[in-house]
């Protein structure tokens, strides 16, 4: 697994966001990259923040979804995503090796200009919006990866969307064959399912 | 005694995972770098008389393969995908 293939995904991990998260992970693999995210940590005893910093260090690309930066039940904002975005931008700027200067990140939000109200320091960066729609998220991620990596072999957004829908349709059957529920899959399991399905269907 | 510098030629297997710089015939860096995983073949160099040298001594942590494999088993997942695909075709 090479540094140049790793895409760090920094996003909410709740049920409401899952359709977007699954679509983004699929797109990353279909484009020939490897998705990395903090959910890998659940399988290890390593300190969470240290692990996140390792993931940032090992990833050339970062997808940061700040759409869930909003007040919770206790009227406090959730700030994990902007914090991890800050780590990524900091690593790009101050990383000890020049390899980190080549880091690139995509910032996603649900509306195009909402970030100006809570994170105005990132003004000037390209912020893309997915409008909470998986298809839009797939197109945004695919187009961004194509632009920043300059790789020629990345399929078109519509093609990835079609493949994603086919995969989603087959996933319950594959899980039934494995005697496991779709909702029981961990991130590591889901990654393995996606990469093996893409190998078998490319 | 001078330390021997190890060069890796394009097509040869990378001895370690890390950043390699392209060096000219006399060992001078030409300013281009690649990241290669241990065991993978080194990519072609811009010119035929060039080779690669592993960047050592720089404060760069070698990228580790840290993603753990799924506990469900890769071969079981492959089999399940194969069965479901065949069922659909039939």
Q: Which of A4, A97, A197 sits opposite B81 (nearest CB)?
A: A197
Residue in A with minimal Cα distance to B67: A40
Per-residue pLDDT reduced to its tens digit, A113-135? 787 777 888 777 778 888 889 99
Per-residue pLDDT reduced to its tens digit, B19-77? 788 998 888 888 787 877 777 788 888 888 899 988 764 444 444 445 677 888 889 99
- Residue B77 placed within a domain: no
- Residue B19 placed within a domain: yes
Report which secondary-structure segment, H or E, holds A137: helix A134-149
Give A155 to chain B, closest Cα distance, Å.
22
> What is the CB neighbour count within 10 angstroms for residue A188?
18
- Residue B85 placed within a domain: no
Closest alpha carbon to A157 in A131, A134, A187: A134
A196 contacts in chain B (CB < 8 Å):
74, 77-78, 81
Q: Which of A1, A170, A201 sits opposite B63 (nearest CB)?
A: A1
- Residue B39 placed within a domain: yes
* For testing contact with chain B, the best of A8, A43, A45, A58 (most B CBs within 10 A): A58
- Residue B40 placed within a domain: yes
Per-residue pLDDT reduced to its tens digit, A27-62? 999 999 999 998 887 655 567 888 888 889 889 999
Closest alpha carbon to A187 in B75, B76, B73, B70: B70
DSSP, collapsed to helix, strand or coil, labels residue A102 as helix
Provide the pLDDT confidence category of residue A110 given band limits of 50, 70 and 90. confident
Q: What is the pLDDT of residue B66?
A: 52
Q: Is the CB of A192 less than 8 angstroms away from the CB of B87?
A: no
- Give chain B's domain count: 1
Domain range enclosing B37: 1-60
A201 contacts in chain B (CB < 8 Å):
85
Max intra-chain CA distance, chain B: 70
Q: Rounded to an integer, what distance in angstroms lies between the CA atom of residue A185 and that of residue A190? A: 6
User: CA neighbours within 13 Å on the CB side: how many for B13?
Assistant: 3
CB distance B42 to B52 below 8 Å: yes
Provide the pLDDT confidence category of residue B1 given band limits of 50, 70 and 90. very low
Question: In sequence order, what are the residues at sequence separation of 6 or more whose Cβ sits closer than 8 angstroms to the Cβ of residue B29?
Answer: B21, B22, B23, B53
Q: Does residue B6 carry a pLDDT above 60? A: yes
Q: pTM for the complete prediction?
A: 0.76
Q: What is the pLDDT of residue A121?
A: 81
Here the ipTM equals 0.79
Q: Which of B61, B68, B80 sits opposite A178 (nearest CB)?
A: B80
Q: Which of A36, A58, A177 sits opposite B84 (nearest CB)?
A: A177
Report which secondary-structure segment, H or E, holds B37: none
Q: What is the pLDDT of residue B5?
A: 62
A9 contacts in chain B (CB < 8 Å):
none
Strands, E assignment, chain A: 6-10, 34-37, 61-65, 104-109, 127-129
> What is the CB neighbour count within 10 angstroms for residue A51?
16
Pairing of strands B51-54, B18-23: antiparallel
Per-residue pLDDT reduced to its tens digit, A135-180? 999 999 999 999 999 888 899 999 999 999 999 999 999 999 999 9
The dihedral of CA A134, A135, A141, A145: what is its sign?
A: positive
Per the DSSP assignment, residues forming a β-bridge with A128 are A108
* CATH fourth-level superfamily of A3-200: Flavodoxin domain (3.40.50.360)
Pairing of strands B51-54, B29-36: unpaired
């Amino acid at each position: 697994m090479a540094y140049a293939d790793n895409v760090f995904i920094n996003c909410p991990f709740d049920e409401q966001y899952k359709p977007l998260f699954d679509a983004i992970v699929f797109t990353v693999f279909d484009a020939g990259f490897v998705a990395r995210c903090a959910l890998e940590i659940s399988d290890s005893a390593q300190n969470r923040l240290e692990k996140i910093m390792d993931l940032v260090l090992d990833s050339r690309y970062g997808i940061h979804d700040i759409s869930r930066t909003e007040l919770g039940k206790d009227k406090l904002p959730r700030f994990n995503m902007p914090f991890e975005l800050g780590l990524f931008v900091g690593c790009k700027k101050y990383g000890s090796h020049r390899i980190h200067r080549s880091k690139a990140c995509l910032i996603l939000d649900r509306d195009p200009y909402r970030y100006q109200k809570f994170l105005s320091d990132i003004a000037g960066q390209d912020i893309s919006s997915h409008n909470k729609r998986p298809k839009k998220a797939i197109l945004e991620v695919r187009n961004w990866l194509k632009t920043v990596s300059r790789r020629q072999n990345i399929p078109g957004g519509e093609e990835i969307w079609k493949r994603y829908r086919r995969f989603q349709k087959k996933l319950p059957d594959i899980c039934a064959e494995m005697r496991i529920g779709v909702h029981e899959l961990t991130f590591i399991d889901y990654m393995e399912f996606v990469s093996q399905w893409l190998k078998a269907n490319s | 005694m001078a330390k021997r510098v190890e060069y890796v030629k394009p097509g040869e297997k990378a001895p370690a995972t890390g950043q390699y710089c392209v060096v000219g015939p006399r060992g001078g860096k030409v300013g281009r770098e690649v990241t290669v995983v241990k065991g993978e073949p080194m990519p072609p160099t811009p010119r035929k008389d060039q080779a690669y040298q592993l960047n050592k001594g720089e404060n760069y942590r070698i990228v580790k393969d840290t993603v753990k494999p799924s506990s469900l088993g890769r071969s079981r997942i492959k089999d399940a995908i194969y069965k479901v695909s065949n069922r659909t075709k039939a």
